[in-house]
Amino acid sequence: MLTATVHGNPSGELPVILLHGLSQQRRFWDPVVTRMRSPLIAALDQRGHGDSLLEVQADYRIERCALDVVEFLDQVGWDRAVIVGHSWGASVALACAGSGRAAAIGLIDGGLWGPAGLGDRAQVRERLRPPELGIPVDRLWAMMQGSFPYLDAEARAALQHTFVVDDLGMARTRIGVDRHMRVLDGLLDYLPQADLQILACPAWAVVCEPPDTATLDESADPWALAKSAAIDRARSVPGLLIHRWAGAVHDVPLQWPALVAGFVDALRASVDALDSGDVRRRD
């Protein structure tokens, strides 16, 4: 069973499930959860992450991760949920859409695209290999502060569970490099087009557009170009609503937690409206 933190009390309300990105853990969502109005929320440690660590050779395919979410719903007795994922977690959320258990899905800067089309697999794997770390804790936070200027005390508290610190005060990611690469392989094997073609529930997608990638030309980064092409293709998917957030960085749940909380609450409210017959879904 996946490790989860459940916020609120089961009361027949439609729950929200939050899925973190690669190498993260359920506490990543804390700044968002504290700002949400939804009455029942579960933030999960996905397999291989946080307190749900598995052996390196476990099955980390996106389809297996999506089945974990369905099994979690079964174990807690929830018939369906709004499933929201960030980055790699968005791919898992998309793969859940065909299970019949997703009342709606939210994809935050992921899911519609992935690294599979970026070139030679070995080169892509090497490019996306994380650092080994094993550095002093103070240096780790100094490095992260330089990369993420929005890293305030709340965001830092959300991220600290991503790392473990040994007796010498050296910090490493909890997931570890080998397990990280196995999860990455599962993402490289996943092609979202098949799940988009059978999308059977409302889906909202957030696309983060940092200022330095707002315009693309022939010299643009291949990842940005692949992302742009995937978004163009997704526009024709029935039931998919794309939100483009100018100025947002990839880790927007930490950058703008109030905005992400509003996005998730609005998605859930839209399902309530559909269920009550107040509005009709537009195909």
| pLDDT confidence of residue 275 | 81
Query: Does the pLDDT value for residue 147 go beyond 70?
Result: yes
| pLDDT confidence of residue 105 | 98
**Mean pLDDT to the nearest integer, 85-102:** 97
Identity at 164, one-letter amino acid code: V
199: left (phi over 0), alpha (psi -120 to 50) or beta: beta
pLDDT band at 283; cut points 50, 70, 90:
very low
Local structure of 241: helix, strand or coil: strand
pLDDT band at 112; cut points 50, 70, 90:
very high
Query: Does the pLDDT value for residue 281 go beyond 60?
Result: no
- Alpha-carbon span 23 to 187, nearest angstrom: 13
Q: Are 23 and 162 in contact (CB under 8 A)?
A: yes
Domains of the chain, CATH where assigned: 3-276 (3.40.50.1820)
pLDDT band at 118; cut points 50, 70, 90:
confident
What share of the chain in percent tops pLDDT 70? 94
**Mean pLDDT to the nearest integer, 94-121:** 93
Query: Does the pLDDT value for residue 226 go beyond 60?
Result: yes
**Mean pLDDT to the nearest integer, 42-55:** 96
**Mean pLDDT to the nearest integer, 91-102:** 96
Q: What is the pLDDT of residues 161-183, one digit of tens each?
A: 999 999 999 999 999 999 999 99
Q: Encoding tokens for residue 201?
A: 């529930």
- Alpha-carbon span 63 to 94, nearest angstrom: 10
**Mean pLDDT to the nearest integer, 233-244:** 94
